[in-house]
Amino acid sequence: MSKKKIIDKLKEYHFEFKHLTVLFLILFSFQLILSFINKSSINSFLKNTQDWYQKDSAERLANLTTMSLELLIETVNPKEKLIQSEQDRIIQSFDIIFSQQALQHNIEEICIIIVRNNNFTAIDDGKELFNSLIQNEPLSVSTKISHSNAITMFKNIRNEFIAKEQIYSFLTDKQTFNIFVPFVLHGEFIGALYMKNTPNFSFITNQISSNYDETSVIYLSLILFGLLAMYFISSFTVKERDEAQKLLFEEHEKNLKKQIHYEKELLFTKRIYHTHHKAEKVMGFIKDDLRTLVPDNTNEIKERILKYSNFISRVIYDMKWFDPPLQTIRNPIFKTDLNNVIRFIVEHIFLRISQETNAFEIQLELDEKLPIIPINEFVVWEILEPLIQNGIEHGGEQFLVITIKTYFDAKNKITKVEVIDNGKGIIPELLELNEDGIQKLFLENITSKITEVQNAGYGCYIAYEISKRCGWEIRAENLQKGCKFIIKIKN
């Protein structure tokens, strides 16, 4: 994909101020969640590391103590008789080792458990250790009841401990290590050194965690300030863009209003052009009726002239308004009989001309059950007259038969008017729908006439526009011979 295509693709997305706000909150929330997850992971790592290190350090300390005692005892030759001063020195060394370990705040208990004749004795005194291991003297009774918990634990692990002869340790209270180190003298297992150790390295992990918290706060602050800077810059940019778009939309709205106003004026002009020559024709009919006025036909001519005059009044009214109020077109006060309007238009407009030309014939098939419609009868006249005139003008040179049908669908409460002719029909291209779903026949300035007249092709267009204002549906279709206009009226 080329760079231009990528840029064009990105331009399709329109980011608003609220989008930036949501994006900012999501980014910051994700960063915050990531920080908490990372901290939890580090704390878990530090805890596992601390547990391992505590165990390792406790075992090393116990092992080192055991080794010191073993080396000290093995330096004494059991076959030599020790003088009192040498005995005191060795006892003092034992006491120092015991006391030095006990002085550490994390060591709670230390002793050597000696196994003799299946008896367990715990020793934590230098003199007793010297007497029992170097002098081979019997153990005192008092030592046999010391460190009872240590002896009990050792009894439980004795078999496994002797079999492996490895350091054995386990936790109690989740922090205290109970460590047993094999005590071997001259290659012979005689017992174990027991050490109860509660190492505490929490100050290290607390320091690491505290440093991480400070780093996280600094990092999050930098991220936050960076996002805020981006947010305000983007918001300012979006604000400027929105202001520019607002001005553009306002300008576009003004242009649309001007365009709509212009189109209404243009439609008004075209409508006036079509109604003007019809008014001239109607004025001619009025003059003819006045010339033929006699006492016998006074009422008939009076009624007809009144209709003609009302139509002329409607034409003059239309000349005053390019966008007449809707209530002058559709209103409950209008009680129009559609059949009577059709009869009048046919008999007193088209048939008066047909009597002179004999070029066409109009047949009526009217449904007398048609309901009254709340539409101005002269607006109905303006819709039907162009459709009938279209058939006369485009039907062909042969004798033309135009059939006007009306029928009422009582079940669906729909009235239909059909204007059918047996002419050459409508060019198929004109029956196609445009992108707005309108047949091209009903678009302005569309005609099949070969003419240079500027105002040709507006009869069907005006009929369609007026039908829309009446709430009617109008469409055209070709028959096997001729064509048909269908007007659908919902009652």
Query: What span, in angstroms and rounded, lies between the C-alpha atoms of 245 and 72?
Result: 93
Print the SS3 string covering the chain.
CCHHHHHHHHHCCCCCHHHHHHHHHHHHHHHHHHHHHHHHHHHHHHHHHHHHHHHHHHHHHHHHHHHHHHHHHHCCCCCCCCCHHHHHHHHHHHHHHHHHHHHCCCEEEEEEEEEECCEEEEECCHHHHHHHHCCCCCCCHHHHCCCHHHHHHHHHHHHHHHHHCCCEEEEECCCEEEEEEEEEECCEEEEEEEEEECCCCHHHHHHHHHHHHHHHHHHHHHHHHHHHHHHHHHHHHHHHHHHHHHHHHHHHHHHHHHHHHHHHHHHHHHHHHHHHHHHHHHHHHHHHHHHCCCHHHHHHHHHHHHHHHHHHHHHHHHHHCCCCCHHHCECCCCCECHHHHHHHHHHHHHHHHHHHHCCEEEEEECCCCCCCECECHHHHHHHHHHHHHHHHHHCCCCCEEEEEEEEEECCCCEEEEEEEECCCCCCHHHHCECCCCCEHHHCCCCCCCCCCCCCCCCHHHHHHHHHHHHCCEEEEEECCCCEEEEEEEEC
CA atoms within 13 A on the CB side of 410: 4
Return the amino acid letter for 218: I
Return the amino acid letter for 368: E
Query: What span, in angstroms and rounded, lies between the C-alpha atoms of 443 and 423?
Result: 22
Whether the Cβ atoms of residue 197 and residue 65 lie closer than 8 Å to each other: no
Q: What is the pLDDT of residue 364?
A: 93
Q: What is the pLDDT of residue 143?
A: 47
Query: What span, in angstroms and rounded, lies between the C-alpha atoms of 162 and 306?
Result: 133
Residue 315's contacts (CB-CB under 8 Å, 6 or more residues apart) are: 272, 275, 276, 278, 279
- Average pLDDT, consecutive stretches of 10 residues, N- to C-terminus, the chain (491 residues): 58 56 74 76 73 77 81 74 79 78 74 82 81 73 64 84 81 80 82 82 70 75 76 72 81 83 65 65 83 85 86 74 77 92 89 67 91 91 88 76 93 93 89 89 69 58 88 92 92 78
Q: What is the pLDDT of residue 463?
A: 87
Q: What is the pLDDT of residue 8?
A: 59
Residues in the chain: 491
Strands 360-365 and 188-197, by their bridges, are unpaired
| Residue 212 CB neighbours (<10 A) | 17
Q: What is the pLDDT of residue 397?
A: 60
Query: Which residue from 329, 325, 326, 407 is spatially nearest to 368, judged by alpha carbons?
Result: 407
> What would you report as the CA-atom Rg of the chain, rounded to the nearest whole angstrom?
57
pLDDT in tens, 134-170: 777 776 654 455 678 888 888 888 888 877 778 888 8
Return the amino acid letter for 478: N
Q: Which domains does the chain have, with CATH numbers?
A: 20-200 (3.30.450), 329-490 (3.30.565.10)
Query: What span, in angstroms and rounded, lies between the C-alpha atoms of 309 and 316?
Result: 10
Return the amino acid letter for 491: N
| Residue 196 CB neighbours (<10 A) | 21
What tokens appear for 224 in the block?
A: 């936050």
> Please, which contacts does 213-221 make with residues 24 or more away whose CB atoms are closer than 8 Å?
213/39, 216/35, 216/38, 216/39, 219/35, 220/31, 220/32, 220/35
